[in-house]
Amino acid sequence: MPETLRPGFTLVNDRPRHCAGSKIETVGSGRPGHLRGRRPSGTITPVDDLVELLRLPPLDRSRWRSTDWAATEAALGTSLPGDYKTFIDAYGPGAIDDHLLVCAPDASPGWTDLVDNNAVAQESCRIWFGGDADGAWPLGDSAHWDGDDVPDWFEPGDDLVSWGGTPDGDFLFWHIRPGVAAADHPVVLRERGPFFERFEAGFAATLTGLLTGAISSRYLSRWLTAPHSYGLAGSRD
């Protein structure tokens, strides 16, 4: 029986079945055609496009609350991409199209905290990577890997840090690679089993591509239909 992890979110907690291999889909990214040319060259960012698609107030008119990013990054053990921090500082945690939850540090009651969500997401990965979740060993520690469920693109020393998920038990991650700047960490989806989708874009660009159809996901696209929305959590200061 699924174990409830947070309001509206479940994760099947049975011991994983043997799988002959991880299904990996790498999806390229391209700037959505209907958003090109909308503003003067050099002023458009993926966050701007995402804000417009979600019909949110402009970034300079909306602020959720101040976030202690240094403490959050210390707890996660990695720097976070600037586009994610910009979006969260303005709008906080919420649900895209009532399906894709975007987590935030110190989230309001009833919403999932970024650090807590990552702990659950990484524990579920350990089950698939190593056969059990005993001990909080780093996902990139290949000494714990057992079986064929570690994707080919995930190398020893890499990490996965989760920033969101869905009610179906899917998790959204950044693929963290040593020596790679936070802005260049691509987004990865892992469905509630061992299968992954890896997108060649960051937080805002991946979400924008998914919402416009420029990026297709076997697990997300059918849930993300226009007109798009962002269900905000809590009140902004």
When the pLDDT of each residue in the chain is averaged and rounded to a whole number, the result is: 80
CB-based contacts of 118, cutoff 8 Å, min separation 6: 76, 161, 162, 163
Rg of the chain in Å (alpha carbons): 17
The verdict on residue 158 lying in a domain is yes
The verdict on residue 8 lying in a domain is no
pLDDT at 206 exceeding the cut of 80: yes
The verdict on residue 3 lying in a domain is no
Helix extents (H) in the chain = 46-53, 69-76, 82-91, 114-130, 203-212
The verdict on residue 120 lying in a domain is yes
What pLDDT is stored for residue 133 in this prediction?
60
SS (H, E, C) 102-162: ECECCCCCCCCEHHHHHHHHHHHHHHHHHCCCCCCCCCCCHHHCCCCCCCCCCCCCCEEEE
Tell me if 83 sits within 8 A of 46, measured CB to CB. Answer: yes
pLDDT at 53 exceeding the cut of 70: yes
Token pair, residue 11, equals 């994760």
Q: List the domain range (segments joined by +) for residue 223.
A: 23-29+46-229
pLDDT at 31 exceeding the cut of 70: no
Segment 115-159, tens digit of pLDDT = 999 999 999 999 888 866 667 899 999 998 987 789 999 999 999
- How far is Cα 235 from Cα 143, in angstroms, rounded to an integer? 45
The verdict on residue 115 lying in a domain is yes
User: What integer is the mean pLDDT of 27-39?
Assistant: 43
- How far is Cα 138 from Cα 128, in angstroms, rounded to an integer? 13
- How far is Cα 217 from Cα 119, in angstroms, rounded to an integer? 24
What pLDDT is stored for residue 110 in this prediction?
66
Q: How many domains does the chain have?
A: 1
User: What integer is the mean pLDDT of 52-79?
Assistant: 90
Token pair, residue 71, equals 């403490």
What pLDDT is stored for residue 65 in this prediction?
78
Tell me if 185 sits within 8 A of 175, measured CB to CB. Answer: yes
The verdict on residue 236 lying in a domain is no
List the beta bridge partners of residue 37: none
CB atoms within 10 A of CB 173: 25
pLDDT at 160 exceeding the cut of 90: yes
Segment 103-122, tens digit of pLDDT = 999 887 667 899 999 999 99
- How far is Cα 109 from Cα 33, in angstroms, rounded to an integer? 38
Q: What predicted TM-score, i.e. pTM, was given to this entire model? A: 0.80
Q: How far is CA 192 from the centre of its chain?
A: 14
The verdict on residue 223 lying in a domain is yes
The verdict on residue 39 lying in a domain is no
Share of the chain above pLDDT 70, in %: 78
